Amino acid sequence: MQPSLEVRDVTKAYRGTVAVDRLSFQVRPGEVTGFVGPNGAGKSTTMRLLLGLDAPDGGDALVNGERYARLDRPLTHVGALLDADAVHPSRRARDHLLWLARSNRLPDARVGEVLDQVGLASVGRKRVGGFSLGMRQRLGIAAALLGDPPVVMFDEPTNGLDPDGIVWIRELVRTLASQGRVVLVSSHLMRELQDTADRLVVIGRGRLVADTTVDDLLGTVSRDQVEVVTPHRSEATTVLANAGARVTIAGGDGVVVEGLPGDRVAALLGTAGIAFTELRRYRASLEEAYMALTRDAVEFAAAEEDGR
Amino acid sequence: MSAVRAEWTKLRSVPRWVATFLGALVLTVGLSALAASGSTTDANEHPDFVTGPHGDAVTDGFGFAHQAVTGDTTMTVHVTGLARAATERAESGAPGTAVPTTPWTDIAAGITLKAGTEAGSSYVSVLLTGSHGVRLQGDFTHDVAGSAAHGDRWLRLTRTGGTVTGYESADGTSWTRIGALTPAAIPPRAEIGMAVSAAPVLHVSRGGGGSSVGGHPGRASATFEDVTLEPATDGTWQGTAVTMPTPADQPAKVGGSTAPTPRVLTASGDTSTVTGSGKVGPQRPDDDVVEGALLGVVAGLMALICVGVLFGTSEYRRGMIRTTFAATPRRGRVLAAKALVLGGAAFAVSLVAVVVAFVVAVPILQDHGMAPPAFPSPSLGDPAVVRALVLAALFMTGVTLVALAVGMLLRRTAPAITLTIVLLVLPLVAGTILPGTSPRWLMYTTLAGGLATLRAQPPTDTLAEPWALIGPGAGIGVVASYAAVGLALAWWQLRRRDA
């Protein structure tokens, strides 16, 4: 059976505050799926629901088609990093992994293997209390990999990591996906996922905003935009705005033009005698795409509340 | 099973918890030794000290209308009336609560075969008691229960060789055998006759942090009819008041003993009335050497409570419980594994602690006067000692499990430790302050009752410590109930709540 993570119409409220609202999505194997949304959007809640830690008020959160609580030796099905701090500080790193291994009848030898894999072999006998946040993240990832699971779920894995660590995580995540695993990585910063994720599940206020590939998302947001680089930005802005375009000032000497095709922009500027050094299709960053999406989601929600 | 191995790995891998377990051991032993070296008693210098045929401390005082017999003999009597003397009833009215009687301290009338009239000599009696039915007793230690009759009964005592058999009857024709005893040292020529005893009536008043025991001598009279002796002798009945020796350094007291003693025997026709005062039975002090050697348990418990609570609350620090439940989604299984691992470790540590405390503290107590003959010398092989040590370890285990349950329920360390200690200590404080026997219900309903497991002696109303009011079975039962209910509540909450 193909490994999978699936959320079907899941709703969860805490003391009347809705954290996840009729959310549905599916994560496929073999690619990295980024799970994005602003802080408080419901990412961690969704992961807790998938791990059976919290019970949904409605809907199903399924791992490999099963509810988590029904899994035998669950660490061999799903590895999750939820909170790198969730380790007793007085325990040695080895012992932390050892009790986890024993709880799922995994051989003790796996502990040494995963410690090697995350680069903590030399500090396995040290107490976790003395670890940096980056080391604790690595320990949490080691715990997730302990059962060699076909599904992995990392909640904000790059938090507190130095640049080396961030690069390491990206490579690890890509490797895990290339081995055919289901990989779900959450972040509140879209740019962290820009070079890593193949697909994106974007949520805001507990609802699904987009479930798409990275390329499609960028395409949608960047549609019909042209960037012009010119030393005469104010003149260019006036001319283009008079022609009906929406013009915004970009970085450097650039302006971004929306609402006019590229050849029309070139013609208008030529007629007005405004020199420009560059004219190209504008490609938004993932960050901007995400801002646009979540802004819509926030406005949509606000409008809906007003309409009630 | 895998959950148990996981929890065991968790428990042993936090050095502070291991250290706290060792601390519990050291505290239990250390405080037991310290408490032992601070206690003193002069019980062995008690002036009217008498030992029985087995060398134990005994009391021996009763009215005896007797004559000498040799060899095998059978005596039969019809006891028609047994009552406390009117003078005694007038005296009662002391403050406090009357201490309930036992088969050894009730008023009694019947037949006694005794080596002689000196206090402490070997004997066998068949007795009709005030409220404990018919008893066959001997040598201050053996007590065989007969029927529950009272007021009017035929009694018979038969000596055949070294064995003395007791019988009872409602009508003097159909007889029921009660039992047979082999007394330690009754020579062929011995005294047999009618005996009446009445133990001193004790009143205990407690409260204000201590207890005080007051009492007055008991006195009872009984009427005997149809007294027969086979084979018949040509002797006559002689009245003797068997009494404890009056110490040389304590000449005749003013009051009690100088007052004219009523005649022991009054005969009119076929009816004899015998009057007696005093108690025939073991004279064990209420103070318990085993309990005295284990008082450090209370200190050891403080350490165990901390480990128990932390083993639960540490899961809720930093959300570790999520890692735990992600690894083992069956939450009931996690709780059971936690209880099993913690309970096993606590029991092992506690058992070692109480055994070492016993071995260390008993010699100290004996040096301080709690020695034979006034106090029995407990040894590790005595059933009562084994029971006390095992139950004490189980008591400590139970409290540790209560601490775990409270920790899991409250999820925060400081309130959980506070609550568990309050459950244990507050009833003790209240129990020593409250008057009367009211602390008894506190002991039946709170963790403090578990301290009753430390005692090897039977429960008693006369001690200041409230847990002496209840038996060890009740004590461990209370603690086990708390642990069971606490863990059940924790399980119920784990299932219901999000992690």
Among chain A residues, the shortest Cα distance to B499 is held by A53
The candidate with the shortest Cα–Cα distance to B277, out of B319, B228, B244, is: B244
Please tell me if residue B327 touches chain A, with a CB cutoff of 8 Å. Answer: yes
Q: Is residue B354 located within the same domain as residue B302?
A: yes
pLDDT band at residue B261 using 50, 70 and 90 as cut-offs: low
- The pLDDT of residue B370 is 86
- The pLDDT of residue A307 is 44
Among chain A residues, the shortest Cα distance to B15 is held by A90
Q: Determine the Cα–Cα distance for residues B72 and B69; give it in Å rounded to an integer.
A: 8
What the block records as the tokens of A55 is 């019970």
- The pLDDT of residue B437 is 63
Q: How many residues comprise chain A?
A: 308
pLDDT band at residue B248 using 50, 70 and 90 as cut-offs: low
- Average confidence score pLDDT of chain B: 89
pLDDT band at residue A298 using 50, 70 and 90 as cut-offs: low
- The pLDDT of residue B47 is 56
Fold of A223-308: Alpha-Beta Plaits (3.30.70)
Of A83, A88, A102, the CB nearest to B314: A88
ipTM, two decimals: 0.83
Residue B328 to residue A95, Cβ atoms within 8 A: no
What the block records as the tokens of B240 is 């003797």
**Is the pLDDT confidence value at B259 over 50?**
no
Domain count across chain B: 2
Q: Is residue B56 located within the same domain as residue B24?
A: no
Q: Is residue B249 located within the same domain as residue B348?
A: no
Cis preceding-peptide flag for B373 (omega within 30 of 0): yes
Fold of A5-212: Rossmann fold (3.40.50)
- Boundary of a domain, candidates B282, B303, B328: B282
Of B5, B7, B322, the CB nearest to A53: B322
The residue ranges of every structural domain in chain A are 5-212, 223-308
Q: What is the pLDDT of residues B435-464, one digit of tens each?
A: 766 788 889 999 999 999 999 988 888 787
**Is the pLDDT confidence value at A277 over 50?**
yes
Domains A5-212 and A223-308 share a fold: no
Q: State the helix-helix crossing angle for A133-145 and A93-103, rounded to 10 degrees.
A: 20
Residue B5 to residue A102, Cβ atoms within 8 A: yes
pLDDT band at residue B42 using 50, 70 and 90 as cut-offs: confident
Task: For residue B352, give its domain range.
Answer: 2-41+287-496
In DSSP notation, B360-391 reads HHHHHHHHTT--TTTS----TT-HHHHHHHHH
Residue B319 to residue A99, Cβ atoms within 8 A: no
- Boundary of a domain, candidates B250, B282, B314: B282
Residue A87 to residue B323, Cβ atoms within 8 A: yes
For chain A, what percent of residues have pLDDT higher than 70? 93
Q: Is residue B276 located within the same domain as residue B292?
A: no
* Residue of A103, A131, A156 for testing the chain B interface, max B β-carbons within 10 Å: A103
Tell me the nearest-neighbour CA distance from A179 into chain B, angstroms.
23
Tell me the nearest-neighbour CA distance from B492 into chain A, angstroms.
15
Q: Determine the Cα–Cα distance for residues B289 and B4; give it in Å rounded to an integer.
A: 39
- Boundary of a domain, candidates B266, B282, B298: B282
- The pLDDT of residue B89 is 54
Through-space distance between the first and last CA atoms of chain A, rounded to whole angstroms: 45
Q: Is residue B407 located within the same domain as residue B291?
A: yes
Higher-pLDDT residue of B452, A262:
B452
Q: Determine the Cα–Cα distance for residues B430 and B466; give it in Å rounded to an integer.
A: 9
- The pLDDT of residue B274 is 92
**Is the pLDDT confidence value at B84 over 80?**
yes
Q: Is residue B20 located within the same domain as residue B157?
A: no
Interface contacts (A, B; CB < 8 Å): 89
Q: What is the dihedral of CA B273, B278, B284, B286, to 10 degrees?
A: 110
Helices (H) and strands (E) in chain A, counts: 9, 14
Q: Is residue B143 located within the same domain as residue B270?
A: yes
Tell me the nearest-neighbour CA distance from A81 into chain B, angstroms.
9
Q: Is residue B347 located within the same domain as residue B248?
A: no
Helix (H, G, I), strand (E, B) or coil at B83: strand
In DSSP notation, A67-133 reads EGGG-SSGGGTEEEE--TT-S-TTSBHHHHHHHHHHHTT--THHHHHHHHHTT-GGGTTSBGGG--H
Among chain A residues, the shortest Cα distance to B5 is held by A102
CB neighbours (10 Å) of residue B137? Answer: 24
**Is the pLDDT confidence value at B381 over 80?**
yes
Q: Is residue B17 located within the same domain as residue B97?
A: no
Q: Is residue B138 located within the same domain as residue B275?
A: yes
Please tell me if residue B15 touches chain A, with a CB cutoff of 8 Å. Answer: yes
Specify the DSSP class assigned to residue B219.
-
Among chain B residues, the shortest Cα distance to A126 is held by B13
E-strand spans in A177-222?
A: 182-187, 199-204, 207-213
Through-space distance between the first and last CA atoms of chain B, rounded to whole angstroms: 22
* Residue of B18, B323, B338 for testing the chain A interface, max A β-carbons within 10 Å: B323
The candidate with the shortest Cα–Cα distance to B77, out of B191, B188, B178, B157, is: B157
Q: Is residue B314 located within the same domain as residue B277?
A: no
Q: Is residue B361 located within the same domain as residue B381?
A: yes
Average pLDDT, integer, range B349-362: 97
Output the domain CATH number for residue B184. Answer: 2.60.120
